[in-house]
A and B are shown apart, each in its own frame.
Chain A
């Protein structure tokens, strides 16, 4: 509920916002990188001097100190390089950590409707692959770009110092790198777009085959679908090879550019040595500098794609971070939790999805201390109505009231704190049963059966089930509660709702997987627990709603009947009809028919 520590909807959000927070480490890392490059220059210099000394008068006397110096420079280079890499990579990881935290906190503020439009899988891939790509841009990207700049600058200075003409000659091939980068960069971009597109088509196809698996099997379409899959996989192969061709050209071409420079040094420099204009040692030094540039040049192609992909990924993340939650806190003061009575009033509430009316001018009042049952066919709008009460679906101002307060003026925390909700699809977290129940009052109990947990579990009819489990309350529920039966899961979810000591309790068909007899017992006990509070009960079972203080019948989003069981039965309308079709409770119906 509370906004994440860093407001993600911050206007100045760029790919560098997160990394900039670690600018200290980045700057020191870059300084070390500069030092690395400077120290590194010592290696070709001493190497050149050593070669010169080898041809000189006293090689045995001059070379050993130079060799020692060379090793010192190498160690200095290594140490500063280790420092720079650790600093920059860790800064990138730290920025990644903050970005992840912000993204997750932000995702929790988005309304359920957002997740219907954006499948969890999509959102997950934002949080995994996109964050990874952006982090690569921050770590490897920053390091290599800065390093390449420093390497070129320092090497150039040193080369010019020895022989400006040879320098000019040897760097002659390098501009082709930029031309190559330009041409190849575009081709790589196009080819990888093609790969993405084909991969998307293939993924869609696989998804279609997997969701339509029943029709594929029952109509024996396997061969046909397989042929389609093969064709698409082959097209993807072709497109990947197109990309491989461009990449395969770029690598050797970049390497060749470096080698050509070496040939030039050999030819032009060699002639200059012969002519006595420079020394052989200088030639060796030149070669050393060139070797220094080999890696930055090769990394160029890779960095281009890193930049491109990093930007695309950041764009997607930014869009996500800037998505404002459609349901926000109301501006008014919170309710006093102790003084809340739990009176719910709905006035002329209409809700439409995609132009289709789901709730149509619904008005109903639920007094504190009463039980209201909501019945109706699948799709009549029952769940939508209760979702509106907790603002899981947003409502227009002035349509839904809790204790006379318009719910849109309440802080969400205050509103939802007053409501206990047990949904039909009982979602449990993969932790202990006790902790799942304790979620209701927001405390971690580490599997301990504290009184608040046991009371709620007993009221939800779980006591006997728990007694039969070896770990009892400390039983860990598997991935999404798979180890429990449907009915047990529903009752844990009910216990969780009860544990929150709600003023308004909503059971959205939340005992559908519990057998009729157990349901009756639980509902009876609930009347006791909920005394003086408001209960809302959605059920398809007439036996369950029979005892409600009022029954609201919804049909196609409209309230068509309101009354007690007897009154509605006497009326002979929709409810009476529903009552008669309860074949599900075959014995109950048979009993009724016999009487």
Chain B
């Protein structure tokens, strides 16, 4: 079996620098441009402190050591120490400002990703694994941070430093400087070759890593199939081939890195040898030996300082390359936009319906909820709803019953626009839901779903959930749904901490907390997806009462699993295969002897 992996999304394979990405990143750096300015001030300071040191050395040799005068050495030493300390302080400030710039920019980018992701519609999350989104906001951001610490910005600093060194050398001695930089073509050749080798190597490496990760991911998620079909040995063999290719992909980059590191050093020595040779040639009898000696010594210092950044270029190249790949992934995420419940004009234009320019006027006489010939399918899959029509009059309770997969829960998702219907109209209070601002729609319609999601935090936090409710209101909500008794039973209060995903609470307890959460919102329209989870009889009784309390005097659409809930409904709809197949009151439907009548018998047997 050959695994096909086409990492087509790796558009910037191997690139260490991409202008388009840089421009996009700049958007997040610009708000902190002041820090960049501070860095721009500190950078030349650090350089000045550093590059003045060899000059002091020159003075010391030329004016004192070489001419046998030790008297001024103490003063020079003190000045030197002062420069060293100043350089250290300035370098610290420079690095700190740079880090702050990076961290703040990346904080901004992280927020931008977060906002972007949360703005996406529910279908986006069906497709996008949580892990991948998490990586964008954590690991990829870290890679970009590295770029600030040791990538592009330090490259700029290095460049400034190298130019400064050249300028100083030129002011010291033009001939020696030119002689030194006779080696530049050599250096340029080396860097160009190494960069080319590394770039193609990195491209290969990225492809191999992607293939390797995809292979492992696939085999671990399919571990049952792997084991059932005794694929372990074959899979390990296939993995071995990918793994070996991954290992070998590094061969060239290791070579290039080693050559670059070692040869740059050698080229520096060649430059030093050249100036020593040149100086010796020009030295005749009676020349100012001290000055020439000092010049050679200080040139040695500057040449060393010049070549170190070049030597470390390959390490920076690696960092940049990783950062570019990370930012490419981030930008891709930011570019793919499927906004949740877009404003009416946009969605109407898409649907070809007339746009609603002004805020729609409420229609007091209209039913609270109305579905008209609504059709829907998840993605390109089988239709889930095939022309569903229903109405929930104001103040009424409508119960929907039917088997798993008949499309009941989908009704709710369409009503609150978590998903967009494919055809038909859904109205709330007589207004097309797509014409309502989504915040208003979701405030008016409160959904209690069957699997209750609790956030980490206290019970109070979870009931409040973003609303500004005082404690009395919370307590009142808890008491009215009867959750207080259940909490008391396990010794919990409003301040009890909830573990990840509510793991320390039972299904029944979570249900009651969800009821309290909904009740605290006092919604105009309640939509309830009753849980089928088995709970103990006491909790069952509490839940039944909680549901009744929640629904009292409120417009309710309920997906019902309890006979008591169904019986009390004003209207019952029976759904099968995405259609409403029966509708009527309990008595009517039982009398009709259809699907509901059969269903009701089994409910009765259970209760």
Q: Interface of A with B (CB < 8 Å)? A: 1-2, 4, 43, 47, 50-51, 53-55, 59-60, 62-64, 66-68, 70-71, 73-75, 77-79, 81-82, 85-86, 89-90, 93-94, 96-97, 100-101, 104-105, 107-112, 115, 120-121, 123-124, 127-128, 199, 202-204, 206-226, 229-230, 233-234, 236-237, 240-241, 244-245, 247-249, 251-253, 255-256, 259-260, 262-263, 266-267, 270-271, 273-275, 280, 283-284, 287-288, 291, 390, 392, 412-413, 416-417, 419, 421, 423, 427, 429-431, 435, 438-440, 442, 444, 446, 476, 479-480, 485-486, 496, 500, 577, 580-584, 586, 589-590, 593
Q: How far is it, in angstroms, between the C-alpha of A109 and the C-alpha of B227 when the chains are bound?
A: 8
Is B60 in contact with A270, judged by CB distance below 8 angstroms?
Answer: yes
Stretch at the interface among B88-96, B327-335, B476-484, B485-493: B88-96
* Residue numbers in A under 8 Å from B224 (CB-CB): 112, 392, 423, 427
* Residue numbers in B under 8 Å from A222 (CB-CB): 118
Is A199 in contact with B138, judged by CB distance below 8 angstroms?
Answer: yes
CB distance from B127 to the nearest CB of A (A): 9
Is B418 in contact with A266, judged by CB distance below 8 angstroms?
Answer: no
Those of B55-86 within 8 Å (CB) of chain A: 57, 60-61, 64-66, 68-70, 73-74, 76-77, 80-81, 84-85
Is B466 in contact with A120, judged by CB distance below 8 angstroms?
Answer: no
Given contacts A85-B254, A260-B84, A583-B402, contact A245 B96 (CB under 8 A): yes
Stretch at the interface among B22-30, B261-269, B365-373, B556-564: B261-269
* Residue numbers in A under 8 Å from B501 (CB-CB): 208, 211
7 A-B pairs, CB-CB below 8 angstroms? A85-B261, A214-B418, A230-B111, A248-B99, A274-B68, A412-B230, A427-B222
Is A266 in contact with B220, judged by CB distance below 8 angstroms?
Answer: no
Is A274 in contact with B104, judged by CB distance below 8 angstroms?
Answer: no
Q: How far is it, in angstroms, between the C-alpha of A189 and the C-alpha of B214 when the chains are bound?
A: 33
Given contacts A208-B455, A216-B118, A284-B297, contact A105 B236 (CB under 8 A): yes
Q: How far is it, in angstroms, between the C-alpha of A236 and the C-alpha of B106 when the chains are bound?
A: 11
Given contacts A115-B220, A214-B449, A583-B403, contact A270 B235 (CB under 8 A): no
Those of B270-310 within 8 Å (CB) of chain A: 270, 272-274, 276-277, 279-281, 283, 289, 292-293, 296-297, 300-301, 304
* Residue numbers in B under 8 Å from A236 (CB-CB): 107
Is B304 in contact with A291, judged by CB distance below 8 angstroms?
Answer: yes
Given contacts A89-B254, A124-B213, contact A211 B130 (CB under 8 A): yes
Is B280 in contact with A430, judged by CB distance below 8 angstroms?
Answer: no
Q: Which residue of A lies closest to B574 (CB)?
A: A583
Given contacts A108-B232, A214-B453, contact A220 B1 (CB under 8 A): no
Those of B186-240 within 8 Å (CB) of chain A: 212-214, 216-236, 239-240
CB distance from B288 to the nearest CB of A (A): 11
Q: How far is it, in angstroms, between the C-alpha of A480 and the C-alpha of B222 when the chains are bound?
A: 9
Q: How far is it, in angstroms, between the C-alpha of A229 and the C-alpha of B87 when the chains are bound?
A: 38
CB distance from B378 to the nearest CB of A (A): 10
Q: How far is it, in angstroms, between the C-alpha of A221 and the C-alpha of B467 when the chains are bound?
A: 8
Is A439 in contact with B281, judged by CB distance below 8 angstroms?
Answer: no
Is B118 in contact with A431, judged by CB distance below 8 angstroms?
Answer: no
Given contacts A70-B276, A78-B266, contact A218 B283 (CB under 8 A): no
Is A85 in contact with B581, judged by CB distance below 8 angstroms?
Answer: no
Is A214 in contact with B122, judged by CB distance below 8 angstroms?
Answer: yes
Q: Which residue of B lies closest to A213 (CB)?
A: B125
Q: How far is it, in angstroms, between the C-alpha of A216 and the C-alpha of B418 when the chains are bound?
A: 11
Q: How far is it, in angstroms, between the C-alpha of A577 and the C-alpha of B602 when the chains are bound?
A: 6
Q: How far is it, in angstroms, between the C-alpha of A331 and the C-alpha of B389 when the chains are bound?
A: 63
Q: Which residue of A lies closest to B284 (CB)?
A: A60
* Residue numbers in A under 8 Å from B149 (CB-CB): 244
| Cβ-defined partner of B118 (8 Å) among A59, A209, A582 | A209
* Residue numbers in A under 8 Å from B96 (CB-CB): 241, 244-245, 248
CB distance from B40 to the nearest CB of A (A): 18
Is A581 in contact with B599, judged by CB distance below 8 angstroms?
Answer: yes
Q: Does B576 sit at the interface, judged by CB under 8 A?
A: yes
* Residue numbers in B under 8 Å from A423 (CB-CB): 224-225
CB distance from A533 to the nearest CB of B (A): 17
Given contacts A240-B103, A263-B77, A439-B229, contact A85 B262 (CB under 8 A): yes
Q: Does B392 sit at the interface, judged by CB under 8 A?
A: no
Is A77 in contact with B1, judged by CB distance below 8 angstroms?
Answer: no
* Residue numbers in A under 8 Å from B223 (CB-CB): 108, 110, 112, 115
Is B406 in contact with A584, judged by CB distance below 8 angstroms?
Answer: yes
Is A392 in contact with B77, judged by CB distance below 8 angstroms?
Answer: no
Q: How far is it, in angstroms, between the C-alpha of A105 and the C-alpha of B262 when the chains are bound?
A: 38
* Residue numbers in A under 8 Å from B402 (CB-CB): 583
Given contacts A108-B223, A221-B465, A442-B234, contact A233 B110 (CB under 8 A): yes
* Residue numbers in A under 8 Å from B76 (CB-CB): 266-267
| Cβ-defined partner of B236 (8 Å) among A4, A262, A431, A446 | A4
CB distance from A44 to the nearest CB of B (A): 10
* Residue numbers in B under 8 Å from A100 (CB-CB): 212, 243
Is A263 in contact with B277, judged by CB distance below 8 angstroms?
Answer: no
* Residue numbers in A under 8 Å from B601 (CB-CB): 580
| Cβ-defined partner of A480 (8 Å) among B77, B92, B221, B340 | B221
Q: How far is it, in angstroms, between the C-alpha of A74 and the C-alpha of B303 when the chains are bound?
A: 14
Q: How far is it, in angstroms, between the C-alpha of A249 and the C-alpha of B94 when the chains are bound?
A: 11
Stretch at the interface among B11-19, B167-175, B348-356, B438-446: B438-446
Q: Which of B74, B96, B99, B236 is the most central at the interface, judged by chain A CB atoms within 10 Å of its CB? A: B236
Q: How far is it, in angstroms, between the C-alpha of A551 and the C-alpha of B574 when the chains are bound?
A: 29
Is B70 in contact with A207, judged by CB distance below 8 angstroms?
Answer: no
Q: Does B114 sit at the interface, judged by CB under 8 A?
A: yes
Given contacts A248-B92, A390-B228, contact A206 B133 (CB under 8 A): yes
* Residue numbers in B under 8 Å from A287 (CB-CB): 297, 300-301
CB distance from B289 to the nearest CB of A (A): 5
Q: How far is it, in angstroms, between the C-alpha of A4 and the C-alpha of B442 when the chains are bound?
A: 56
* Residue numbers in B under 8 Å from A105 (CB-CB): 232, 236, 239
Q: How far is it, in angstroms, between the C-alpha of A476 and the C-alpha of B138 when the chains are bound?
A: 33
| Cβ-defined partner of B84 (8 Å) among A123, A263, A480 | A263
Given contacts A77-B265, A233-B110, A496-B229, contact A64 B65 (CB under 8 A): no
The 5 closest A-B pairs by CB, nearest first: A63-B280, A224-B466, A74-B269, A586-B576, A244-B99
| Cβ-defined partner of B2 (8 Å) among A66, A226, A431, A442 | A431
Stretch at the interface among B157-165, B245-253, B538-546: B245-253
* Residue numbers in A under 8 Å from B259 (CB-CB): 82
Given contacts A109-B232, A127-B216, contact A211 B138 (CB under 8 A): no
Is A256 in contact with B87, judged by CB distance below 8 angstroms?
Answer: yes
* Residue numbers in A under 8 Å from B74 (CB-CB): 267
Q: Which residue of A lies closest to B280 (CB)?
A: A63
Is A210 in contact with B133, judged by CB distance below 8 angstroms?
Answer: yes
| Cβ-defined partner of A124 (8 Å) among B103, B216, B273, B404 | B216
Q: Which residue of B lies closest to A392 (CB)?
A: B224
* Residue numbers in B under 8 Å from A413 (CB-CB): 230
Q: Does B554 sit at the interface, judged by CB under 8 A?
A: no
Q: Which residue of B lies closest to A1 (CB)?
A: B232
Those of B411-435 within 8 Å (CB) of chain A: 416, 418
Q: How far is it, in angstroms, between the C-alpha of A270 and the C-alpha of B57 when the chains are bound?
A: 10
Is B216 in contact with A104, judged by CB distance below 8 angstroms?
Answer: yes
Q: Does B134 sit at the interface, judged by CB under 8 A?
A: yes
* Residue numbers in B under 8 Å from A275 (CB-CB): 70
CB distance from A538 to the nearest CB of B (A): 15
| Cβ-defined partner of B100 (8 Å) among A60, A225, A241, A583 | A241
Q: Which residue of A lies closest to B417 (CB)?
A: A217
